[in-house]
Structure 1
Amino acid sequence: MTGLELSPRKIEYIKYLFEKGDNVRTTEISAHMGVDPSTITKAINELASSGYVNHVPYRGFSLTEKGEEYAHFLLRRHRILSLMLNHYGLTAEESCAEVARFEAYVSKKAINTICDSMGHPTFGVCGRIEHDSCNLKHSHHETHEE
């Protein structure tokens, strides 16, 4: 996984499915995203064919194991980048909003490098930051950022 596999819109679908849990219906996603249900169906089917989403007919959609793993990375990426911008003077709200504009274009390698340089923080301005143990070069460097 490079972190650059999905378009910003598909990333929003993954995040929404992760937030909502199992069996999310097309109409729920459509209402939340403000997009026509046929557009949602097409995008979700593409995510399903790529292995990120399960579709249970008449019940809805949920993330696969691959989708859940990707969602965890998306949250981590958002929180690391928000914390970085907050560190350089933006408020928590400004950081979160600014990161939402560009986060889809930042690779996993860049996030791991930034995270390492920050000492693997465990808390950011948007919430807890989870780390995949294989991404930690020096786990004894973990710090708590306020």
Structure 2
Amino acid sequence: MGVLEHVGYKNYRNFMQVARRCLADDGLVLLHTIGKELSITTTADPFMTKYLFPGGNMPSIAQIGAAVEKSFVMEDWHLIGPDYDRTLMAWFENFDSGWDQLKAKYGERFYRLWKYYLLYCAGYFRARHVQLWQIVFSKQGVPGGYETVR
């Protein structure tokens, strides 16, 4: 699930406890989240907070660790941030090239907002200011170990 950056740092632990309660004993949780190396409790960009992610906050490695402590076994932690830069640029290219078909419905303000969002985020990932992680958790550990396929 790609949601942790949207629940707010005060709710990370509660979110993971709910995930644990909902998970079968032999189940796995795949947490797909944007994060930062630094633990901060505010967002750095007022524009993003106001228009795109109100109440959002990017978790740090330490905050994720605290949220899952005594609840999950970490099976895998994969960094895919460099790939996300390319993904965001491809989304922008598709959005921009298809804009003529969308502009009558959505208008110029929508175009500027999404152009800013996609290019800003691509730059943030390219500069390595943020990361995209896919983390796999189990309740009690996978018997024989978890096999990562990449």
Larger strand share, 1 or 2: 2
Q: Larger C-alpha radius of gyration, 1 or 2?
A: 2
